Chains A and B, each alone.
Chain A
Amino acid sequence: MAAEGSSSIDALAQFQLHTTLGPLGASVNFTQANLMMVVASLGVLALLYIGMKPRAMVPGRLQAAAEMGYEFVLSMCTEQIGPEGRRYFPLVFTIFFFILFGNLLGVFPYFFTFTSHIMVTLALSVFVFVLVTIVALKEHGLHFFSYFLPEGIPTILAPLMVAIEIISYFSRIISLSVRLFANMMAGHVMLEVFGAFIIMLGGLGLLGFIPAALSLGVNTLLIGFELLVATLQAYVFAVLTCIYLHDAVHLH
């Protein structure tokens, strides 16, 4: 993609958006990121629908994957939030699998990682933030605002602490979105850089052959690492959603 024929590595060109699905997509600005979101959603639905279709007592591989995903997220909810966590299970499940599929699909060639765009992750985290705040307001009413005033604070320090707590509360949006975005983007930039190394060094002839082979090895390792990061970041996003929901339900 980048770097062919030129001597510079344009590692960020892979994140450029362009419209897909021909003139129809162009007329509504339907980019490949949107397409991948649809693919990821359909993938999750397909996993659950096709996986659970046999309803076998002894599950096959796909059914086992679907059941393990369900149990994994359910135990995450009940452990982090408490017994009330079951109410928020559908939300956490949706978020976890949407991000997981988005991250994992991005590892395939010619696919696009929509979670490598800060706008997408920011939208996700703003959604989580607003929802958590609404849950907290619904559970506790105006008592929720005592969250910003830790108990046992001297009265003189109270205004300072309230300001700090509010900033800290809002910083969740940034930290939640930047974590996912930075991890996914960094991984794909690394892949692109080492991929460009292979082409550039391979063009040098015999001298470049060994470093090019080394770069290929590094890229192979990076793909495996990318799989790990993809799963881990989806998990982290879901766990943090759970922790925020825990704070909203229990306050402190």
Chain B
Amino acid sequence: MNQDQGGPDSSFEDRLKAARSKQGLDAQPKRPSDDRGGLNGSAMGIGLRVGLELVSALVVAVAIGYGLDRIFHTTPILTVVFVPLGGAAGVANLWRILAPKKSD
């Protein structure tokens, strides 16, 4: 929740918050702190995000592999090496998004 970070006038902030919530001016505390800012919204949102993360890691890996191949004249080898790495990086991205949050 949006606790103020120990400012000198925290009592005023508290009273203001209490007054605002009594008047119904503040939106009710709706932000669950476990999801990262509503990014994990709808199922379709998750689906699009998953696909994008997988593909973008692969694109980067292919770009790196192809570029290194061009530099070192080893044409297919480094691309072949980097494509599985890219797939793995995509899965790592997904794990970072979808993993159960640690309590830190």
Contacts and interface: CB of A to CB of B under 8 A. Distances in A.
Interface of A: 75-76, 78-80, 83, 160, 163-165, 167-168, 170-175, 178-179, 182, 235-236, 239-240, 242-243
Given A78-B2, A236-B39, A239-B36, A164 B56 contact: no
Contacts of A240: 39
- Nearest first, the 4 closest Cβ-Cβ pairs linking A and B are A174-B56, A167-B89, A175-B56, A171-B57
Interface of B: 2, 5, 31, 33, 36-39, 49, 52-53, 55-57, 59-61, 64, 82, 85-86, 88-90, 92-93, 96
A76 B39 CA distance: 13
A78 B5 contact: yes
A164 B58 CA distance: 11
Contacts of A173: 60
Nearest to B31: A79
Contact of B52 (A76, A78, A175): A175
Contacts of B39: 236, 239-240
Contact of A163 (B56, B85, B93): B85
Nearest to A74: B2
B86 A239 contact: no
A171 B31 contact: no
A76 B90 CA distance: 27
17 contacts: A79-B33, A164-B85, A164-B88, A167-B57, A167-B60, A167-B61, A167-B85, A168-B89, A168-B93, A171-B57, A171-B89, A173-B60, A175-B52, A175-B53, A175-B93, A239-B36, A239-B39
Q: Most A CB atoms within 10 A — which of B37, B64, B90?
A: B37
Given A80-B36, A178-B52, A239-B36, A165 B89 contact: yes
Contacts of B86: 167
Contacts of B57: 167-168, 171, 174
